[in-house]
């Protein structure tokens, strides 16, 4: 387990990306709970890789949602619905991960859904260079439908109670604290606990980033990894 600055972490992650040797674009997954810091880390890693001359495709699971009318058959606060009914994994594999993978033609689309407008998208097809890097962030990326599609797997680990506090700060301009806490405690946190119990995502990743202190991250690679299931537990508010 290593601890260092944010820049040192990003340097290590960029080295890990560079160490992947495949004959197609390198597909990097950045998994973790909501508000763990996945998107920020993915954006920062993309900047570093571009500075190193890599062609980066930046994409997110939020652009592969089912339309809102299809996402809540079990109710808006259902944890099972969050896990089973939210994301269009078939489309994700079909238009992005498989074209960039072994035997793919590298003709991809980076999104199928516009979350703001709640409409389906069909962006132009792009051809990726063979040495491109896909940096993809999202929840549940180690689930069976996706786990074999990644060439490098990163998990951003943060205590789930910390994610609630971060969500309140991040979303308080849109939702009340009570609404945010209800969504996290009834839908998002239980769905993550289910994911961790059934899939054990950190068993499948190459690198875990402990992100409770983003400017002083701790990271570990699979060769020395001790899986910390307790990191996914909910600690009572004090």
The answer to the question of residue 93 being in a domain is: yes
Comparing CA positions, the residue from 230, 174, 200, 215 lying closest to residue 31 is 200
- Residue 35 forms part of a structural domain: yes
pLDDT confidence of residue 235: 33
Q: Domain total for the chain?
A: 1
Report pLDDT digits (tens) over 161-196. 788 878 878 877 778 888 888 988 999 999 999 999
Query: And the tokens for 199?
Result: 């899939």
Query: Per residue in 36-51, is it b (16+ CB within 10 Å) or e — as a string?
Result: bbbbebbebbbebbee
Burial class (CB in 10 A: 0-12, 13-18, 19+), 185: middle
pTM exceeds 0.75 for this model? yes
115 lies in a domain?
Answer: yes
CATH code at 89? 3.40.50.300
Looking at the domain assignment, is residue 237 inside a domain? no
231 found inside a domain: no
Domain that residue 217 falls in: 2-226
Question: Which residue ranges of the chain lie beneath pLDDT 70?
Answer: 222-238
What's the confidence (pLDDT) of residue 124? 95
Sign of CA dihedral 8, 13, 16, 22: negative
Contact 112, 88 (CB under 8 A): yes
Contact between residue 26 and residue 15 where contact means Cβ atoms under 8 Å apart = no
How many Å apart are CA 110 and CA 50, to the nearest integer? 18
Rounded distance between C-alpha atoms, residue 74 and residue 77, angstroms: 8
Contact 72, 81 (CB under 8 A): yes
- pLDDT tens, position by position, 200-220: 999 999 999 999 888 899 999
């Amino acid at each position: 387990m290593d601890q260092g600055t944010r820049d040192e972490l990003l340097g290590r992650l960029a080295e890990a990306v560079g160490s992947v040797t495949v004959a197609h674009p390198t597909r990097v997954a950045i998994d973790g709970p909501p508000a763990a810091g996945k998107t920020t880390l993915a954006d920062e890693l993309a900047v570093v890789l571009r500075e190193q001359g890599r062609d980066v495709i930046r994409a997110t699971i939020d652009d592969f949602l089912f339309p809102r009318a299809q996402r809540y058959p079990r109710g808006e606060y259902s944890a099972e619905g969050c896990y089973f009914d939210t994301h269009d994994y078939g489309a994700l594999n079909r238009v992005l991960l498989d074209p960039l993978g072994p035997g793919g033609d590298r003709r991809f689309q980076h999104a199928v859904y516009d979350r703001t407008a709640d409409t389906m998208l069909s962006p132009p097809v792009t051809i990726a260079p063979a040495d491109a890097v896909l940096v993809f962030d999202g929840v549940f990326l180690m689930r069976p439908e996706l786990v074999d599609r990644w060439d490098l797997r990163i998990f951003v680990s943060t205590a789930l109670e910390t994610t609630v506090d971060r969500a309140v700060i991040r979303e308080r301009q849109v939702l009340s604290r009570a609404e945010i806490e209800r969504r996290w405690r009834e839908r998002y946190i239980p769905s993550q606990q289910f994911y961790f119990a059934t899939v054990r995502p950190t068993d499948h990743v190459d690198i875990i980033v402990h992100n409770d202190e983003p400017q002083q991250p701790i990271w570990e690679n699979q060769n020395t990894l001790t899986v910390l299931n307790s990191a996914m537990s909910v600690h009572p508010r004090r």
